[in-house]
Amino acid sequence: MLDNAPRGTICIEDIEIGMIRSLRKEITDRDIELFAEVSTDRNPVHLDDDYARDTIFEGRIAHGMLTAGLVSAVIGEQLPGHGTVYLGQSLKFLAPVRPGDVVLAEVEVTGIDHSKRRVTMDTRCLVGTKKVLIGEATVLAPSRKFD
């Protein structure tokens, strides 16, 4: 059998229910500025201290999709890893992430359809013990076998 899977990838043949992978990242002012630049989302709640102080958040917050991007990083780099194709993602934002917060992004395998190479995962982000984002992802996992 030929192995065409990229290095650092967990192929569909090796994925198991309950597998978890994660990463931790401190969200910096620079991260927020770069995300605003790339996404063109310049909402002042993310960028302007004075404006953000007078909102329900009482201070600046990171873009929700910046936090969600950490889930994408875990999926694309660790589980399943390189060669994975995102098919869908649901997201629910539970609490704001602020500059200086350390976010733990985790994915956990909850379902596998070997015949279609589809993997379903619970996704979550936490700051300390507080969940700030939850959701579910469905991906097409790489395989060691050629199609």
pLDDT, position 42: 98
Q: Residue 40's CB: how many other CB atoms inside 10 A?
A: 7
**CA atoms of 4 and 136, how far apart (whole Å):** 28
At residue 135, the pLDDT reads 98
Could you please state the CATH topology (level 3) that the domain comprising 12-140 is classified under.
Thiol Ester Dehydrase; Chain A (3.10.129)
**Cα dihedral 24/29/32/33 (nearest 10):** -140
pLDDT score, position 7: 60
Alpha-carbon distance values, 121 to 3, 10, 41, 130 (Å): 25, 14, 28, 20
Q: Which amino acid is at 91?
A: L
Q: Whole-prediction pTM value?
A: 0.91
The pLDDT score that the predictor gives to residue 146 is: 53
Chunked into runs of 10 residues, the chain (147 residues) has average pLDDT values of 58 97 98 98 98 97 98 97 96 98 98 97 98 98 79
